[in-house]
C-alpha cells in the first residue's frame, strides 16, 4: 500500500462510501426504534397478564371434592 492517489481522485469514493454508511445507519436506527416499540408493547402485555388473577391449575379445585368411597377394592 505504498501507492498514493490524489485527493481529487479519492474524494468521490470517499463521498460515496460516506453516503452508504449514512444510509445503513439510518436503516439500523429505524430497526432499533421498531424493536424498542415492540419490546415496550410486549412488556406492557406481560405486566397486564401478571396483574390478572389466574387459576393455578386451570381446572376444578380437586381439594374441594369429596373423597372416594372406600369399597374395599384396590
pLDDT tens per residue, range 21-53: 999 999 999 999 999 999 999 999 999 988 887
The mean predicted confidence, pLDDT, of the chain is 87
Q: What is the pLDDT of residue 15?
A: 97
Mean pLDDT of 63-73: 74
> Does the pLDDT of residue 74 top 60, yes or no?
no
pLDDT for residue 18 is more than 90: yes
Query: Can you tell me whether residue 21 is helix, strand or coil?
Result: helix
In eight-state DSSP terms, residue 73 is -
CA–CA distance, 40 with 46 (Å, rounded to integer): 10
> What confidence score (pLDDT) does residue 33 get?
98
Amino acid at each position: 500500500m505504498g501507492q498514493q492517489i490524489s485527493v481529487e481522485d479519492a474524494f468521490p469514493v470517499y463521498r460515496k462510501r460516506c453516503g452508504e454508511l449514512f444510509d445503513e445507519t439510518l436503516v439500523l436506527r429505524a430497526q432499533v426504534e421498531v424493536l424498542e416499540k415492540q419490546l415496550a408493547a410486549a412488556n406492557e402485555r406481560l405486566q397486564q397478564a401478571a396483574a390478572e388473577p389466574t387459576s393455578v391449575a386451570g381446572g376444578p379445585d380437586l381439594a374441594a371434592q369429596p373423597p372416594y368411597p372406600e369399597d374395599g377394592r384396590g
